[in-house]
Amino acid sequence: MILHFSELASTNSYLRENLGGMPQYAVVTAGFQTAGRGQRGNGWESEPGANLLFSMLYYPPEWLSPSRQFLISKAVALAVAETVDRLLDGFPHPEVCIKWPNDIYVGDRKIAGILIENSLQSAASIAHSIIGVGLNINQREFRSGAPNPVSAIHFTDRETPLEDVTLLLRDTLASRLEKMQQEFHPARESTPVLNEDYFSRLWRRRGFHPYIARTASIEASPTAIKPNDPDCQDCFDAEIVDVAPDGLLTVRLRSGQLRAFSFKEIVPVLPKKNSDIFL
């Protein structure tokens, strides 16, 4: 099932308010959102009819407990990245990566944002997940002041029908989620590759890069470990070491010390060509 509307407040909100009778992998899209949201309530800029504003309903298996919900985030991020790969296939472009936890980047520029809203049935199970994706397709100019947006059209120099992208993304999401269920099903013996695939897609997964800590999960903000950069006084260098099953990010400082951070507790510093914006 795919429902398209010329305008909605939010595709995620529409699905949440109209769950009755909606099947697995039901999709809602909109040409424009009046109240589109990103992670932690951030807005999402999109010209009417230019980009894919997409939400999909997912009913996780009963064994997928709330403590393992980051598996859904990993599978979704990989599916969106794979969709972008398909869209840009044959055109020169930087690597398509996942910026922890689930933004999609092409090089150092953001092409897609993901907002997953999980509704808990109990402490042991998830009733349903609403998977929201904003994917920049045909918008050439961005006016919101976002530091590093990019669209598929910047690489392809041609418009892509949004209906085609809707079908591609829906099928890729369904495939990744089904694969995740098979890999992690407690009654099956298998070797999950989801974690390996996710880590191999991480943006800045190699080497040390500048970050700012807002709140550290372990000890105080490690701002004493700074890069040699007078323009970034509050920065510190770190390299990604691991992403835990619950999504916690572990990084290593140049001193060798490890620090763990939850969502929004650490932000990367973009390269100078993007005006050293934190995001």
Cβ–Cβ under 8 Å, residues 134 and 46: yes
Burial class of residue 80, CB neighbours in 10 A (0-12, 13-18, 19+) = buried
Query: pLDDT, tens digit, for every residue of 183-192?
Result: 998 877 766 7
Nearest CA-CA partner of 261 in 100, 127, 138: 100
Nearest CA-CA partner of 78 in 103, 61, 59: 103
Pick the CATH number of 206-274 from 2.40.10, 3.40.50, 1.10.3470, 2.30.30: 2.30.30
- Please state the CATH superfamily assignment of the domain spanning residues 2-199 in this structure: Bira Bifunctional Protein; Domain 2 (3.30.930.10)
Query: pLDDT, tens digit, for every residue of 132-191?
Result: 999 999 999 888 777 789 999 999 999 999 999 999 999 999 999 999 999 998 877 766
- What are the boundaries of each domain within the chain? 2-199, 206-274
Going by DSSP bridges, is the β-strand pair 249-253/52-58 parallel, antiparallel, or unpaired?
A: unpaired
Cβ–Cβ under 8 Å, residues 27 and 3: yes
pLDDT the model gives residue 33: 87
Alpha helices in 89-220 (DSSP H): 153-156, 162-184, 194-201
Q: What is the pTM of this model?
A: 0.88
Cβ–Cβ under 8 Å, residues 80 and 104: yes
Q: How does DSSP classify residue 23?
A: P
Sort residue 275 into left (φ over 0), alpha (ψ -120 to 50) or beta.
left
Half-sphere exposure of 209 (CA within 13 A, CB side): 21
Nearest CA-CA partner of 116 in 70, 168, 172, 153: 70
Residue 273 confidence (pLDDT) above 60: no
pLDDT the model gives residue 146: 76
- Residue 60's contacts (CB-CB under 8 Å, 6 or more residues apart) are 72, 125, 126, 128, 129, 181
> What integer is the mean pLDDT of 92-107?
96
